[in-house]
């Protein structure tokens, strides 16, 4: 589904989380002058939702699929050759998440702005939340930020996304509609010069059943090309969505990582979507998570992004 400009999230989510630029300007209750909003009225809301009417028991989240920068900040001083690097966004992850969303007829929630602004999969108090460099490349626009500038990114970019994810999970879990949370990421084939042999990884921390079952299902298909907590593990210092939106509410949850050289074209995305969908169906069946039937005809009709 193409992203419609300016807040394609549904009205009820917009009502709960007004865009930063919808807020009254001109001052705070204490009389201090409010900072100029990062996002202008014509720029998209950080949060986007697709297929919220989806019938599946799965809900997909893609935190790093966006590469936008607010116009007022620009690309944070990055040279053009670095503005679409893997440390700016998860290459191919949003297309993969969309394909899985269609395959399962499941909702997809995603963040539109670059992880470099403030990482949607980090707590705001960890050092990597607003990184001063990306794999050795300085990010000038993230250096020497004031506390107010950091707080503004959190309030305008990070918090609207997580409030919306929480609200949607509250709603669907209360209705018994969502039974598992799946986050979709991609990783770079080489990091600081070291090659990563895994084509995909199943990442988890405290999820006791779904994640191990998915790893088993993928390892049966891929052998050692599937990684368990590779190329990194999930934890509260390096993640936010799985620990907070999944584990804290006792929801089965798993993070999927696919090496981004596998997702460079539509054929690669389709191949991985099919493989992961088969693995997810097998894992959910093995641990008794009811996710409903595949999307069938909707899957066939879906447009590829
Ligand atoms: Zn990621």
Distance between CA 30 and CA 91 in Å, rounded? 43
- Mean pLDDT confidence for 127-149: 96
Residue 138 domain flag: yes
pLDDT of 6 strictly over 80: no
* pLDDT attached to residue 236: 85
Mean pLDDT of 55-76: 97
Give a yes or no: residue 6 inside a domain.
Answer: no
- In order of 127, 188, 247, the CA distances from 264 in angstroms are 30, 12, 32
Give the count of domains, the chain: 1
Q: Could you tell me the distance, in angstroms and rounded to a whole number, from the CA of residue 124 to the centre of ligand 1?
A: 16
CA 274 to ligand 1 center in whole angstroms? 20
DSSP sequence for 194-213: EE---SEEEE-SS--SHHHH
Q: Residue 292: its pLDDT value, please?
A: 85
**Residue 22: which domain range?**
11-301
pLDDT tens per residue, range 8-64: 444 334 333 434 444 434 344 555 667 799 999 999 999 999 999 999 999 999 999
CA of 239 from ligand 1 middle (Å) equals 9
Per the domain annotation, does 187 fall within a domain? yes
Over residues 251-291, the pLDDT tens digits come to 999 999 999 999 999 999 999 999 999 999 999 999 999 99
Is residue 128 assigned to a domain?
yes
Q: Determine the distance separating the centroid of ligand 1 and the alpha carbon of 28, expressed in angstroms.
A: 35
Is 2 inside a domain boundary?
no
Report if residue 257 sits inside a domain: yes
In the predicted model, what is the mean pLDDT of residues 62-85? Answer: 97
Query: What is the model's pLDDT at position 35?
Result: 79
Does residue 5 lie in a domain region? Answer: no
Measured in Å, residue 186 CA sits from the centre of ligand 1 at: 6
- Per DSSP, the three-state class of 184 is strand
pLDDT at 32: 63
The confidence score (pLDDT) of residue 166 equals 98
User: What are the backbone dihedrals phi and psi of residue 253, each rounded to the nearest 5 degrees, phi first?
Assistant: -155, 150
Identify the pLDDT of residue 296: 55
**pLDDT at res. 13:** 45
| pLDDT classification of 237: cutoffs 50, 70, 90 | confident
Q: Residue 294 belongs to a domain with what CATH number?
A: 3.40.630.40
For residues 219 and 200, what is the distance between their CA atoms, to the nearest angstrom? 10
Per-residue pLDDT, averaged over 102-111, amounts to 97
Distance 64 CA to ligand 1 centre (A): 5
Q: Ligand 1 centroid to 257 CA: how many Å?
A: 8
pLDDT at residue number 18: 39
Q: Is 18 among the domain residues?
A: yes
Residues with CB under 5 A from ligand 1 (ion): 64, 90, 185
The Å distance, Cα 161 to ligand 1 centre, comes to 15
Which pLDDT value is given to residue 30? Answer: 56
């Amino acid at each position: 589904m193409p992203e419609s400009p300016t807040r394609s999230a549904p009205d009820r989510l917009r009502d709960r989380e007004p865009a930063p630029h919808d807020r009254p300007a001109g001052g705070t209750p204490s009389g201090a002058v409010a900072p100029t909003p990062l996002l202008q009225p014509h720029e998209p809301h950080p949060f986007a939702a697709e297929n919220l009417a989806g019938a599946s028991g799965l809900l997909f989240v893609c935190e790093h699929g966006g590469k936008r920068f607010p116009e007022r900040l620009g690309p944070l001083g990055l040279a053009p050759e670095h503005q679409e690097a893997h440390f700016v966004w998860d290459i191919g992850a949003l297309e993969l998440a969309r394909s899985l969303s269609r395959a399962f007829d499941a909702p997809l929630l995603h963040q539109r702005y670059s992880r470099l602004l403030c990482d949607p999969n980090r707590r705001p108090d960890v050092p990597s939340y607003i990184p001063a460099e990306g794999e050795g490349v300085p990010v000038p626009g993230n250096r020497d930020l004031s506390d107010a500038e950091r707080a503004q990114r959190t309030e305008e970019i990070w918090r609207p996304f997580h409030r919306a994810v929480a609200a949607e999970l509250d709603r669907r879990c209360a209705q018994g509609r969502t039974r598992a949370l799946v986050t979709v990421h991609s990783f770079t084939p080489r990091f600081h010069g070291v090659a990563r042999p895994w084509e995909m990884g199943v990442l988890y921390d405290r999820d006791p059943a779904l994640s191990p079952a998915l790893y088993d299902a993928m390892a049966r298909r891929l052998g050692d090309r599937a990684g368990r907590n590779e190329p990194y593990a999930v934890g509260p210092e390096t993640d936010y969505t799985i620990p907070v939106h999944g584990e804290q509410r006792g929801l089965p949850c798993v993070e999927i990582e696919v090496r981004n050289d596998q997702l460079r074209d539509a054929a690669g995305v389709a191949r991985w979507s099919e493989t992961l969908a088969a693995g997810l169906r097998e894992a959910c069946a093995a641990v008794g998570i009811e996710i409903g039937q595949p999307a069938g005809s909707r899957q066939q009709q879906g447009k590829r992004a």
